[in-house]
Amino acid sequence: MTTTVRADGPAVRKDAPGAARGPRRRTGRIRRAGLPYLLLLPALLLELLVHLVPMVTGIVMSFKELTQFFIRDWGAAPWAGLDNYKVSVDFDAPVGEALLHSFLVTVGFTVLSVGLCWLVGTAAAVLMQDAFRGRGLLRALFLVPYALPVYAAVITWVFMFQHDNGLVNHVLHDQLGLTGKPSFWLIGDNSFVALLTVSVWKGWPFAFLIVMAGLQNIPRELYEAAALDGAGMWQQVRRITLPSLRPVNQVLVLVLFLWTFNDFNTPYVLFGRTAPAAADLVSVHIYQASFGNWNFGTGSAMSVLLLLFLLVVTGAYLALTSRGRRTAA
Amino acid sequence: MSTPRSPMAPPRSFLWTRRILLTLLTGFVLLPVYVMVSSSLKPLADVTGAFRWLPSELTVRPYIDIWSTVPLAKYFVNSLIVAGAATVCSVVIAVFSAYAVSRYDFRGKRVFTVTVLSTQMFPGILFLLPLFLLYVNIGNTTGIALFGSRGGLILTYLTFSLPFSIWMLIGYFDSVPRDLDEAAKVDGCGPLGALFRVVVPAAIPGIVAVAVYAFMTAWGEVLFASVMTNDTTRTLAVGLQGYSTLNDVYWNQIMAASLVVSVPVVAGFLLLQRYLVAGLTAGAVK
Q: Which residues of B187-218 are buried (b: 16+ CB within 10 A; e: fewer)?
A: eebebeebbeebbbebbebbbbbbbbbbbbbb
Domain contains B235 = yes
More reliable by pLDDT, B200 or A68: B200
- Positive or negative, the CA dihedral B94, B99, B102, B108 is negative
d(CA B23, CA B222): 32
Q: How confident is the model at residue A12 (pLDDT cuts 50, 70, 90)?
A: very low
Q: What CATH number is associated with residue B175? A: 1.10.3720.10
pLDDT tens track for B116-138: 878 777 778 878 878 888 888 88
Chain B, residues 179-198, CB within 8 A of chain A, namely 182, 191
- B243 inside domain: yes
Q: Which residue of B has its CA nearest to A147?
A: B266
Contacts of B128 in chain A (CB under 8 A): 287
Q: What confidence tens digit (pLDDT) does each residue in A175-226 have?
A: 898 888 888 999 889 999 999 999 999 999 999 988 988 888 888 888 888 8
Q: Is the dihedral of CA A194, A198, A200, A201 positive or negative?
A: positive
Give the range with max mean pLDDT: A80-89, A205-214, B190-199, B274-283: A205-214
Buried b / exposed e over B94-117, threshold 16 CB at 10 Å, is bbbbbbbbbbbebeeeeebbeebe
Query: What range defines the domain where residue B125 resides?
Result: 69-284
* Interchain contact, A148 vs B262, CB within 8 Å: yes
Regarding predicted confidence, which is higher, A123 or B109?
A123
- C-alpha angle B194-B196-B202 in degrees, rounded to nearest 5: 90
- Of B65, B64, B57, whose CA–CA distance to B38 is shortest? B57
- Confidence bin at A31 (pLDDT 50/70/90): low
- Average pLDDT rounded to a whole number, residues A233-252: 86
DSSP for A124-136 reads HHHHTSS--TTHH
Categorize the per-residue pLDDT at A29 as very low, low, confident or very high, splitting at 50, 70 and 90. Answer: low
How does pLDDT run across A260-311, given as a tens digit for each residue? 999 998 999 999 888 899 999 999 999 888 887 778 888 889 999 999 999 9
Query: Which pLDDT value is given to residue A20?
Result: 43
Q: How far is CA A322 from its chain centroid? A: 20
For residue B214, the one-letter residue type is: A
Q: Point out the least confidently predicted range of A8-17, A18-27, A38-47.
A: A8-17
d(CA A170, CA A185): 13
| DSSP 8-state code for residue A217 | T
Q: Does A138 touch chain B (CB under 8 A)?
A: yes
Cα–Cα distance between B67 and B242 in angstroms, integer?
12
Classify residue A224 by burial, with Cβ atoms within 10 Å: 0-12, 13-18, 19+. Answer: middle
The CB density around residue A91, as the number of other CB atoms within 10 Å, is: 12
* Residue B6 contacts residue A227 (beta carbons within 8 Å): yes
The alpha-carbon gap from A161 to the nearest alpha carbon of chain B, in Å, equals 11
- Asked if A316 is an interface residue toward chain B (Cβ–Cβ < 8 A), one would say no
Instruction: Give the nearest partner residue to B93 out of A43, A216, A261, using CB atoms.
Output: A43
* Domain annotation covers residue B203: yes
For residue A79, list its beta bridge partners.
Answer: A64
Q: Is B39 domain-assigned?
A: no
Instruction: Report the alpha-carbon distance of residue A222 to residue A204 in Å, rounded.
Output: 27
- SS3 (DSSP) at A64: strand
Q: Please compute the mean of the pLDDT values over residues A239-245 and round it to a whole number.
A: 88
Which amino acid is present at A80?
A
**pLDDT at residue B209, rounded to an integer:** 84
- One-letter amino acid at A252 equals L
B116 interaction partners in chain A (CB closer than 8 Å): 43, 47
Interchain proximity B265–A303, CB inside 8 Å: no
CA distance B166 to B113: 9
Structure letter (DSSP) for residue B123: -
Task: Work out the number of other CB atoms within 10 angstroms of the CB of residue A208.
Answer: 25
Cβ contact A3–B2 (<8 Å): yes
Shortest distance between the Cα of B230 and any Cα of chain A, in A, equals 16
- Please state, in angstroms and rounded to a whole number, the distance separating the CA atoms of residues B42 and B57: 7
Is 90 exceeded by the pLDDT of residue A251? no
Asked if residue B84 is part of any domain, the answer here is: yes
User: Does any domain span residue B25?
Assistant: no
> Which is higher by pLDDT, B1 or A173?
A173
Residue A90 has what pLDDT? Answer: 85
Query: What pLDDT, on a 0 to 100 scale, did the predictor assign at position A327?
Result: 52
Q: Are B266 and A195 within 8 A, CB to CB? A: no
Interchain proximity B285–A213, CB inside 8 Å: yes
Lowest mean pLDDT among A76-85, A170-179, A238-247, B258-267: A76-85
Residues A220, B4: C-beta atoms closer than 8 Å: yes
Which of B8, B25, B134 lies nearest to residue A227, judging by beta carbons? B8
Asked whether residue B44 is assigned to any structural domain, the reply reads no
Domains identified in chain B, total number = 1
Partner-chain residue, chosen from A13, A282, A307, that has the shortest CB–CB distance to B174: A13
Question: Is A152 an 8 Å CB contact of chain B?
Answer: yes
pLDDT recorded at residue B282? 61
Residues 175-214 of A with CB under 8 A from B: 201, 205, 209-210, 212-214
Q: B229: which strand partners? A: B148
ipTM of the complex: 0.87
Q: What is the mean pLDDT of chain A?
A: 84
**B21 at interface of A, judged by CB pairs closer than 8 A:** yes
Contact map slice: B 81-120 vs A, CB within 8 A: 93-94, 96-97, 99-101, 103-106, 109, 112, 115-116, 119-120
pTM: 0.86
pLDDT above 90: percentage of residues in chain A: 37
> What pLDDT is stored for residue B283 in this prediction?
54
Q: Does residue A28 have a pLDDT over 70? A: no
Rounded distance between C-alpha atoms, residue B110 and residue B133, angstroms = 31
pLDDT digits (tens, 9 = 90+) for B71-85: 999 999 999 999 999
Contact status of A117 with chain B (Cβ, < 8 Å): no
Mean pLDDT, range A13-26, rounded to an integer: 44
pLDDT confidence band for A2 (50 / 70 / 90): very low
List, as one string, the DSSP characters of A244-284: HTHHHHHHHHHHHHHHHHT--HHHHHHH-SS--GGG--HHH
pLDDT for residue B164: 84
- Per-residue confidence (pLDDT) for residue A17, from 0 to 100: 44
Closest-approach residue (CA) in chain A for B180 = A12
Can you state the percent helix, strand and coil of chain A, rounding each to 5? 75, 0, 25
Domain-located, residue B221: yes
Sequence-distant (6+) residues with CB within 8 A of A140 are B270, B273
B221 in reach of chain A (CB within 8 A): yes
Residue-level pLDDT at A13: 40
CB A50 within 8 A of CB B159: yes
Query: Where is pLDDT greater, at A67 or A146?
Result: A146
Q: Which of A46, A156, A169 sits opposite B35 (nearest CB)?
A: A156
Lowest-confidence pick of A6-15, B158-167, B194-203, B221-230? A6-15
The whole-number pLDDT of residue B8 equals 58
